Amino acid sequence: MAALAACRTDGSGAETTGEVIAPVASPSPVKEPTAIATPPPLSPPVAEAMSVQSDPLAGNAGLMVNETYVAAGMRSVDVPVCLKEVLPRQLTFDALTKNDTAKEGQDFVRTQVRGLNIPAGRTCTSVSIPIKADLANKKFDLTVSWSYNHPAVGGADYPIRGGSADAVKSMPAQPLLPSAGARNGRTLAWSSNFLEPVRPTSAPGSWRSRFPQHRLQVANREIAPNADPITDPGVDTHPIREGKRVIRAHHAPVREGGATYDYAASMMQSLDLHTGQYGYIEIRANISRAQGTIPAFWLLPKSLAWPPEIDIFEFGLNDDSRMKSTVHYIDSTKAKRMEGAFIPFVPDEEFHTYGLDWTPQWLITLVDGKEVHRRHNPFHEPMYIVVNVAVGGLAPAPKTVTPDWESTITLDRIEWWK
């Protein structure tokens, strides 16, 4: 959910179409030379309660190779290869390194792997590539392509094409940390039950009800300012119900910039309470989403620049009820990029935990303690927390509005473990 003046796009811009490989009967690794991927540990697939869409291959499925960096002294690198969406079947792909300014034999070992699998319900694996020399400012490519046209869904055939992207570049040394299993081995650095005051302006010890720069997402074409009772008497955007804070978008007139809007959106952000870099961030919340709204849990930089942005969850993009996890970043060419994945989970008006395991190497999304998505981490700066319910913009406007219309996130707790 882009916070500043840049509009979002529908695609990441980080993938180009690759060749579809004809079916083969029994894919096997090439023997000389070959590097077999050893993926980082993954949690069990998403629980059965998470519903899978009936047409999972018709949407934004595809492979992505995230930018991966090789620090001086590293002699092996695991390059993450991820799906754009979680799919309900195992999918298989091939991988091949290619020369660029770094050369095989001199800088890295040529690696060709056939028949790598991403299991059903998961999104990522990795390709292990031996490195022979420090790369400095050199790079080489990893090309991935699908090995099969997979079985038809809904009576149609959906061939999935792979992408090619820069796989390896140099950067200052970063420790390679696998997921620590959420809280395991970590110390609680900060927590909140969301009952601190909510104010429109900066105040120590308080949540803020808007962004530092504005309270209406013009770039996202939203149709409701982030309101609060101090600025907008008569709205009720942050009530406490049965001892728990509720973020509530509802039907109420709100004045902003000389115009009157029909809806009040709701936000709480932590710039005055807590910012941090790396760790495991988990929220326990109950989402009751109305059509035309987007409940979201995300991180923005303390520097107030944009991007970066980490969207841990968004529900309701284009009125799609599934969860989407997205990142916005600037790549090595200084271009703004967006990469996202739909997760086969739909809120059911029950409490669930939503977590982000943020390490120097990985961004790992979890629901109810189970890993549902993993991508390489391009973010290395302090960030603050945003929880909000937006109206319109990246979702169609509400179609049916009754006097008691509302869209809510009921908040139990948030924790940041280091």
State pLDDT tens for residues 50-84: 222 333 333 345 677 666 667 667 787 777 777 76
Domain assignment present for residue 38? The answer is: no
pLDDT digits (tens, 9 = 90+) for 151-193: 433 333 333 444 443 444 433 333 333 344 456 778 999 999 9
Residue 134 pLDDT > 50, yes or no?
A: yes
Inside any domain, residue 214: yes
Residue 87 lies in a domain: no
Q: Which pLDDT value is given to residue 144?
A: 79
CATH value at residue 209: 2.60.120.200
Query: Residue 286 domain-assigned?
Result: yes
Residue at 288: amino acid letter: S
Q: Which two tokens stand for residue 16?
A: 């180009």
Backbone angles phi, psi at 201, to 5 degrees: -120, 170
Residues 6+ apart with CB under 8 A from 109: 33, 35, 129, 130, 131, 132
**241 falls within a domain:** yes
Provide the b/e sequence for 278-298 (b: ≥16 CB within 10 Å): bbbbbbbbbbbbbbbbbbbbb
**C-alpha closest to that of 52 among 344, 370, 387:** 344
Considering its fold, how many domains does the chain have in total?
1
Check residue 41 and give its pLDDT: 37
Task: Return the closest-CA partner of residue 410 out of 356, 362, 352, 369.
Answer: 352
Within a domain: 17: no
Domain that holds residue 329: 188-417
Does some domain include residue 48?
no
232 Cβ neighbours under 8 A, 6+ residues apart = 252, 254, 255, 264
Question: Is residue 265, in this structure, part of any structural domain at all?
Answer: yes
Q: Which of 166-180, 186-200, 239-253, 258-272 shows the lowest per-residue confidence on average (mean pLDDT)? A: 166-180
